[in-house]
Amino acid sequence: MDMERFESLASRLFFAGAFVLLALAVVERIARWSGYTVLRGTYDPGRLFEFAAILLMFVVVVLLRQIRQQLRTRA
């Protein structure tokens, strides 16, 4: 597997993981407003949102790296 395919796969997985964590944070927040919990108090919704933001930062870094590589090959 070449590096470009690995970067693309990693970026897609991180983006999907961030989206799942964001959705779980929203569901957990709504459940807590109702007096219930989905995760049984292991993680707060804000912490899940932080994890999603960290994954999205990695996605941005990979995309910026790909842009830089394409600009170098054109110049």
Question: Model's pTM, two decimal places?
Answer: 0.86
Q: Total structural domains in the chain?
A: 1
CA distance 30 to 47: 15
- In the prediction, which pLDDT does 1 show? 66
- In the prediction, which pLDDT does 38 show? 92
- Within 13 Å and on the Cβ side, how many CA atoms surround 56? 11
Domain that holds residue 54: 3-74
Hey, how many other C-beta atoms are within 10 angstroms of the C-beta on 61? Answer: 12
CA distance 23 to 20: 5
Mean pLDDT, consecutive 10-residue stretches, the chain (75 aa), reads 88 97 96 93 94 96 93 88
